[in-house]
């Protein structure tokens, strides 16, 4: 069988997947005040990776993104549970969040919220889950 | 913990150590170690005799579960003491007998004595407990240990059959009895028999009273092998002979008698009690003695004989209940029935125990128990013959043995029924003496068969397995002691009357003892020419006549077809029950998920529609609905069309795409109803799941890919319509039954202020209710790992090649 040439697809993917990735990050960080959040952000991130998978192949993508997605799930869960446990240190109930406005060196006045840490957990688990499923099914003969 | 409690528990403690004796000390027969305990206990219980006679009762309590009113209260009165003496006395003799009966080399003696001691302790517990729950506990322990003992030779099919049968029947009765006890508790608020008796008068009108009475009697009848539950006892004869002698003649089968006697003060005022106890007793007496005549196995004869004698005692207890209706009489003649019951209880234990031991000796010496292969043993085994003669004559009710006395008292009690003027006894009362007399005639016949067919006549043609000779002295010792007691009690019955029979009768009928009408038991051998004496003479004459001409009328037993016997009924019942339950299970557990879904949905429809109609919850209030816009209508039409397409599509691919259309329309609905987060998520998730569906479709096996429409099934259509209607009705009704305001206002006010976010959905997800989210992502992780595991770890397929 003659090998097809995916030049256009691959070139477009290079640019588009980056844009999707950025959009996913935007959606993730905007989540607290606008529609979005960890769940949709995670799904969109996986979308970007899936696009890469479609344009290239499993091996290439695994080479450029050397991530074990199963570990990603674990890390995500650790973030979520860790955020909850962190509140216990301050003698408040499990999963009590705190937020305040800080003045940071470069960013200036920034509103920081522990809920973001929790959302990072959600984000990582969603990416890990979708990618584990797709990769596992894709590798299956 | 008093010494009395220790005495009850002692057999269990010793049972724990028996295996050590058995394994470590091989030179000595384990039975010798066991023998010490019942002998000590017997002596210990003898010491209670004067105290019980003078004070009435001794009571000791140990807390067990005080919060539930369950305490291990040991209560020794005349009745309990009588049984305790029987259990320990005959227990010692049986252990002594078993030492010579069971071979040290061939039998697993460790288990035997463990079971036997367990049984002894359980039986002591039954008769000495005042608390009903404790009594029930020990009661079931007797059932279990009896089960183990009957199945002692478990390699024999008949033993296992007999053990299972006795287990099923006695446990059935035991559970019924527990029900009766619980009803008694509901009525009186106490598990203590003393307490319940003190409240007996208040219970008579209670709706639970008769059910409690019947349930307790069920327990007593099954345990004491009363008609029609007697069928387990003949099959229990597969047990080793010491077990038959101990459990199935002297002790366990009398647990039911004990229960009836013990519960008499509670129930005896009730006419139902009188009728049930005396009628079942007298029927058992006649039926079992009639059947005993046709048996050919020595132990089978003895088993039916035991059943019939138990019926005799039971009927006496029933008649004794009549005494309560004549409390005004100074010299209460019905009280004599209770005394006769107690007296015969003792007598039966003595002669039946010795007869079982004789049967065991004959079996041991000749290798057979079949009377057709026995005969002429009189000269070979003179001592055994003498014991058998004493036992059978006593059983038949001949003077000068104790059976004669109790039989006379039995007749006297039955004749006294004629003078009762309650419960329509003027008309039916005559049945009692007639049936009693008929039963006694058959008793006489089988007693003679038992004695003469075994020991007299010619020796059979074919040789026995062994050359019979007199049994060793150790084996004869126990039956000799019992036979001696038969004669002693026959000649001097009054040594028993003051010391034990009176207190026991007092315990059964406390109403008289309390009223100060202490009655004196005076049993005499000769009491003039009375009706009962003529009845006895008639029994002997007719019995002898029938015995001599037995071969002429024996065929009447063949008239009654075997198929209609109670045993066949039991066997058939068991087989049928198994078959029916198997068929039932196979009928509905057919392995098809479709059927199970139908059951689930039908239950769903049934329960929900019933409760909605019952509570009148259906309502169609349309006033507080929001206005419906054009977009909603358009989307609803799309979603409906797509859903119908899924159902009627010919190709699976069409269904998948239609499902995707439904999903995207739902996302549009979310947009329309202003839920941007949901819309976003729904869009992405729908895409992923449609892709997965396509994947599954692509990998369908070529063979079954044949595209065809979903087959129409009426049942499925009806059920699915039903579910849809019910859910719609619930949704509509629930909408109209909002009882409280929504709590959403709190979130609207506090999202920004407390949680520092503007996206309320996200704030709820990660902050207000982050706990749920945490576990939802755990669910996602588990799903991913599950898929990974399913695909990567295919151990079985790899093994298959």
Averaged over B407-433, what is the pLDDT?
75
- Between B40-49, B63-72, B132-141, B367-376, the lowest mean confidence (pLDDT) is in B367-376
CA distance B310 to B286: 11
Are B551 and B456 in contact by the 8 Å Cβ rule? The answer is no
Mention every residue, 6+ apart, whose C-beta is less than 8 A from residue B522: B494, B497
* Cβ-defined contact of A132 to B784 (cutoff 8 Å): yes
Are B391 and B351 in contact by the 8 Å Cβ rule? The answer is yes
CA distance B80 to B77: 5
* Cβ-defined contact of A95 to B681 (cutoff 8 Å): no
Contact residues on chain A for B683, CB-CB shorter than 8 A: none
Averaged over B750-759, what is the pLDDT?
81
Q: Which tens digit of pLDDT belongs to each residue from B280-303?
A: 898 889 888 888 888 888 888 889
In the numeric block, which tokens belong to residue B245?
């002698």
In the numeric block, which tokens belong to residue B729?
């009705």
DSSP one-letter string for A116-127: HHHHHHHHHHHH
Does the pLDDT of residue B783 top 70, yes or no? yes
Q: Is B765 on the interface with A (CB under 8 A)?
A: yes
Does the pLDDT of residue A86 top 70, yes or no? yes
Question: How confident is the prediction for chain B on average, in pLDDT?
Answer: 84
CA distance B653 to B641: 16
Per residue, the 3-state secondary structure of B143-178, as one string, reads HHHHHHHHCCCCCCHHHHHHHHHHHHHHHHHHHHHH
Omega of the bond prior to B620 within 30 degrees of 0, cis?
A: no
* Cβ-defined contact of B680 to A99 (cutoff 8 Å): no
Portion of chain A with pLDDT greater than 70, in percent: 97
CA distance B244 to B232: 13
Chain B: nearest CA to A39, how far in angstroms? 7
CA distance B211 to B204: 12
Averaged over A90-114, what is the pLDDT?
78
Interface A–B counts its CB contacts (< 8 A) at 123
* Cβ-defined contact of B791 to A136 (cutoff 8 Å): yes
- Mutation target to probe the B interface, by most B beta carbons within 10 A, among A26, A97, A100, A111 is A97
The predicted structure's pLDDT at residue B795: 67
DSSP one-letter string for B119-149: HHHHHHHHHHB-BHHHHHHHHHHHHHHHHHH
Which residue numbers of A have CB closer than 8 Å to B's CBs? 27, 31-40, 43-44, 47, 69-70, 73-74, 76-77, 80-81, 84, 94-95, 97, 99, 111, 113, 115, 118-119, 121-122, 125-126, 128-130, 132-133, 136-137, 140
Categorize the per-residue pLDDT at B328 as very low, low, confident or very high, splitting at 50, 70 and 90.
low
- Using alpha carbons, select from B671, B664, B710 the residue that is nearest to residue B685: B664
Q: Which tens digit of pLDDT belongs to each residue from B332-345?
A: 667 778 888 888 88
Q: Report the chain B residue with the minimal C-alpha distance to residue A136.
A: B788
* Cβ-defined contact of A113 to B756 (cutoff 8 Å): yes
Averaged over A104-133, what is the pLDDT?
84
Q: Report the chain A residue with the minimal C-alpha distance to residue B787.
A: A133
Q: Report the chain B residue with the minimal C-alpha distance to residue A137.
A: B791
Contact residues on chain B for A132, CB-CB shorter than 8 A: 784-785, 787-788
Q: Report the chain A residue with the minimal C-alpha distance to residue B794.
A: A140
Averaged over B34-51, what is the pLDDT?
88
The predicted structure's pLDDT at residue B659: 93
- Count the alpha carbons within 13 Å of B72 in the hemisphere toward its beta carbon: 15
The predicted structure's pLDDT at residue B141: 92
Largest CA distance in chain A: 67
The predicted structure's pLDDT at residue B63: 85
Query: How far is residue A52 from each of residues A61, B604, B650, measured CA to CA in Å?
Result: 7, 47, 35
Q: Which tens digit of pLDDT belongs to each residue from B681-702?
A: 899 889 888 888 888 888 777 7
Q: Which tens digit of pLDDT belongs to each residue from B604-644?
A: 999 999 998 888 877 777 777 788 888 999 999 999 999 99
The predicted structure's pLDDT at residue B579: 94
Chain B: nearest CA to A84, how far in angstroms? 9
* Torsion of the alpha carbons at B193, B199, B203 and B208, rounded to the nearest 10: -30
Contact residues on chain A for B762, CB-CB shorter than 8 A: 31-32, 36-37, 119
DSSP, collapsed to helix, strand or coil, labels residue B57 as coil
Are B479 and B401 in contact by the 8 Å Cβ rule? The answer is no
Element (H, E) at B60: strand B58-65
DSSP one-letter string for B578-604: HHHHHHHHHHH--S-HHHHHHHHHHHH
Q: Which tens digit of pLDDT belongs to each residue from B178-196?
A: 999 999 898 888 888 888 8
* Cβ-defined contact of B770 to A35 (cutoff 8 Å): no
Radius of gyration of chain A (CA): 18
Averaged over B724-731, what is the pLDDT?
90
Does the pLDDT of residue B512 top 70, yes or no? no
Averaged over B217-221, what is the pLDDT?
91
**Cβ count near B705 (within 10 Å):** 9
Better-predicted residue by pLDDT, A113 or B676: B676
- Of A61-75, B495-509, B524-538, the range with the highest mean pLDDT is A61-75
Say which residue the tokens 């009280």 belong to: B335
Contact residues on chain A for B783, CB-CB shorter than 8 A: 129, 133
Nearest to B756 among A44, A70, A99 (CB): A99
Omega of the bond prior to B655 within 30 degrees of 0, cis?
A: no
The predicted structure's pLDDT at residue B330: 54
**Cβ count near B334 (within 10 Å):** 21
Better-predicted residue by pLDDT, B629 or A1: B629
The predicted structure's pLDDT at residue B517: 52
CA distance B662 to B668: 10
The predicted structure's pLDDT at residue B187: 87
Q: What is the pTM of this model?
A: 0.80
Are B34 and B113 in contact by the 8 Å Cβ rule? The answer is yes
Portion of chain B with pLDDT greater than 90, in percent: 19
* Cβ-defined contact of B762 to A94 (cutoff 8 Å): no
The ipTM assigned to this model is: 0.91
Query: How far is residue B333 from each of residues B339, B340, B416, measured CA to CA in Å?
Result: 10, 11, 7
Nearest to B756 among A31, A111, A140 (CB): A111
Averaged over B432-454, what is the pLDDT?
86
DSSP, collapsed to helix, strand or coil, labels residue B467 as coil
* Cβ-defined contact of A35 to B785 (cutoff 8 Å): no
Categorize the per-residue pLDDT at B449 as very low, low, confident or very high, splitting at 50, 70 and 90.
confident
Averaged over B149-155, what is the pLDDT?
89
Per residue, the 3-state secondary structure of A91-116, as one string, reads CCCCCCCCEEEEEECCCEEEEEEHHH
Burial of B687 (0-12, 13-18, 19+ CB in 10 A): middle
Contact residues on chain B for A39, CB-CB shorter than 8 A: 681, 765
* Cβ-defined contact of B774 to A84 (cutoff 8 Å): yes
Better-predicted residue by pLDDT, B540 or B527: B540
Element (H, E) at B631: helix B630-648
Are B455 and B376 in contact by the 8 Å Cβ rule? The answer is yes
The predicted structure's pLDDT at residue B794: 73
Q: Is B651 on the interface with A (CB under 8 A)?
A: no
Chain A: nearest CA to B666, how far in angstroms? 17
Contact residues on chain B for A140, CB-CB shorter than 8 A: 791
The predicted structure's pLDDT at residue B797: 58
The predicted structure's pLDDT at residue B136: 93
Residue B26 DSSP code: -
Q: Is B767 on the interface with A (CB under 8 A)?
A: yes
- Between B86-100, B154-168, B450-464, the lowest mean confidence (pLDDT) is in B450-464
- Using alpha carbons, select from B115, B121, B124, B97 the residue that is nearest to residue B153: B115
- Mutation target to probe the A interface, by most A beta carbons within 10 A, among B693, B694, B695, B756 is B756
The predicted structure's pLDDT at residue B801: 44
Q: Which tens digit of pLDDT belongs to each residue from A29-72?
A: 888 888 888 888 999 999 899 888 888 888 888 888 888 898 99
Q: Is B673 on the interface with A (CB under 8 A)?
A: no
Nearest to B781 among A27, A33, A125 (CB): A125
The predicted structure's pLDDT at residue B697: 82
Q: Is B756 on the interface with A (CB under 8 A)?
A: yes
- Using alpha carbons, select from B142, B177, B301, B166 the residue that is nearest to residue B233: B166
Query: How far is residue B615 from each of residues B454, B509, B609, B618, measured CA to CA in Å?
Result: 76, 54, 10, 8
* Cβ-defined contact of B766 to A38 (cutoff 8 Å): yes
Phi-psi region of B131 (alpha: psi -120 to 50; beta: other; left: phi over 0): beta
């Amino acid at each position: 069988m003659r090998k097809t040439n995916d030049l256009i697809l691959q070139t477009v993917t290079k640019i588009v997947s980056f844009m999707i990735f950025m959009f996913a990050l935007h959606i993730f960080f905007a989540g607290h005040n606008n529609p979005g959040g960890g769940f949709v952000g995670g799904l969109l991130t996986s979308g970007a990776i899936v696009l890469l998978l479609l344009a290239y192949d499993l091996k290439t993508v695994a080479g450029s993104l050397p991530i074990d997605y199963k570990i990603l799930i674990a890390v995500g869960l650790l973030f979520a549970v860790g955020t909850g446990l962190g509140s216990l240190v301050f003698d408040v109930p499990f999963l009590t969040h705190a937020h305040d406005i800080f003045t940071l060196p470069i960013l200036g006045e920034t509103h920081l919220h522990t809920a973001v840490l929790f959302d990072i957990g959600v984000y990582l688990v969603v990416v890990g889950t979708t990618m584990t499923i797709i990769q596992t099914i894709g590798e299956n003969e | 913990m008093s010494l009395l409690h220790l005495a009850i528990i002692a057999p269990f403690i010793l049972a724990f150590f028996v295996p050590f004796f058995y394994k470590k000390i091989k030179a000595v027969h384990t039975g010798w170690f066991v023998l010490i305990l019942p002998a000590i206990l017997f002596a210990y219980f003898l010491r209670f005799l004067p105290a019980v006679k003078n004070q009435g009762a001794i009571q000791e309590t140990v807390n067990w579960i005080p919060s539930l009113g369950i305490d291990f209260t040991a209560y020794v009165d005349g009745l309990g003491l009588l049984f305790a003496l029987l259990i320990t006395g005959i227990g010692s003799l049986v252990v002594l007998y078993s030492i010579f009966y069971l071979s040290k080399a061939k039998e697993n003696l460790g288990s035997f004595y463990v079971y036997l001691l367990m049984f002894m302790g359980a039986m002591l517990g039954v008769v000495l407990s005042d608390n009903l729950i404790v009594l029930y506990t020990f009661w079931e322990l007797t059932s279990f240990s009896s089960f183990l003992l009957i199945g002692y030779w478990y390699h024999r099919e008949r033993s296992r059959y007999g053990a299972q049968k006795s287990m099923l029947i006695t446990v059935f009765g035991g559970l019924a009895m527990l029900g009766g006890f619980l009803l008694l508790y509901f009525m009186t608020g106490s598990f203590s028999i003393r307490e319940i008796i003190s409240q007996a008068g208040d219970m008579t009108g209670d709706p639970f009273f008769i059910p409690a009475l019947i349930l307790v009697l069920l327990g007593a009848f099954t345990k004491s092998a009363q008609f029609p539950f007697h069928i387990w006892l003949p099959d229990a004869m597969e047990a080793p002979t010491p077990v038959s002698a101990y459990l199935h003649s002297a002790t366990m089968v009398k647990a039911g008698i004990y229960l009836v006697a013990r519960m008499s003060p509670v129930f005896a005022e009730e006419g139902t009690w009188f009728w049930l106890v005396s009628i079942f007793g007298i029927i058992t007496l006649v039926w079992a003695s009639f059947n005993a005549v046709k048996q050919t196995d020595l132990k089978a004869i003895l088993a039916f004989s035991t059943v019939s004698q138990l019926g005799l005692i039971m009927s006496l207890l029933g008649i004794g209940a009549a005494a309560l209706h004549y409390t005004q009489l100074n010299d209460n003649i019905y009280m004599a029935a209770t005394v006769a019951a107690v007296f015969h209880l003792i007598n039966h234990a003595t002669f039946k125990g010795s007869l079982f031991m004789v049967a065991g000796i004959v079996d041991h010496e000749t290798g057979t128990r079949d009377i057709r292969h026995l005969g002429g043993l009189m000269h070979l085994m003179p001592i055994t013959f003498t014991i058998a003669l004493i036992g059978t004559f006593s059983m038949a009710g001949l003077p000068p043995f104790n059976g004669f006395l109790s039989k006379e008292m039995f007749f006297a009690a039955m004749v006294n029924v004629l003078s009762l003027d309650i419960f329509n006894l003027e008309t039916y009362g005559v049945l009692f003496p007639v049936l009693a007399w008929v039963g006694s005639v058959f008793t006489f016949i089988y007693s003679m068969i038992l004695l003469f067919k075994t020991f007299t006549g010619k020796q059979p043609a074919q040789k026995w397995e062994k050359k019979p000779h007199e049994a060793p002295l150790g084996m004869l010792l126990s039956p000799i002691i019992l036979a001696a007691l038969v004669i002693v009690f026959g000649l001097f019955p009054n040594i028993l009357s003051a010391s034990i029979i009176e207190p026991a009768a007092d315990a059964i009928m406390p109403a008289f003892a309390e009223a100060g009408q202490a009655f004196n038991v005076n049993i005499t051998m000769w009491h003039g020419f009375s009706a009962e004496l003529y009845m006895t003479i008639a029994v002997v004459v007719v019995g002898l006549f029938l015995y001599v001409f037995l071969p002429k009328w024996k065929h009447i037993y063949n008239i009654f077809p075997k198929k209609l016997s109670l045993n066949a009924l039991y066997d058939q019942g068991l087989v049928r029950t198994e078959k029916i339950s198997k068929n039932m299970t196979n009928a509905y557990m057919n392995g098809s998920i479709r059927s199970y879904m139908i059951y689930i949905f039908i239950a769903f429809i049934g329960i929900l529609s019933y409760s909605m109609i019952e509570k009148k919850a259906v309502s169609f209030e349309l006033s507080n609905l929001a206005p419906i816009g054009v977009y909603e209508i358009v989307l609803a039409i799309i979603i409906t069309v797509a859903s119908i397409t899924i159902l009627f599509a010919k190709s699976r691919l069409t269904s998948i795409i239609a499902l995707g259309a439904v999903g995207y329309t739902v996302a549009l609905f979310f947009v329309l109803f202003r839920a941007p987060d949901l819309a976003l998520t729904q869009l992405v998730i729908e895409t992923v799941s449609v892709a997965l569906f396509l994947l599954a479709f692509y990998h369908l096996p070529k063979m079954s890919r044949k595209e065809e429409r979903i087959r129409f099934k009426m049942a499925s259509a009806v059920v699915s319509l039903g579910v849809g209607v019910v859910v719609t009705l619930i949704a509509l009704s629930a909408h109209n039954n909002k009882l409280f305001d929504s709590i959403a206002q709190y979130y609207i006010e506090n999202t920004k202020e407390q949680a520092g976010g503007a996206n309320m959905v996200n704030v709820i997800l990660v902050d207000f209710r982050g706990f749920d989210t945490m576990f939802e992502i755990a669910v996602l992780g588990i799903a991913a790992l599950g898929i990974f595991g399913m695909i990567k770890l295919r151990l079985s397929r790899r093994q298959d090649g």
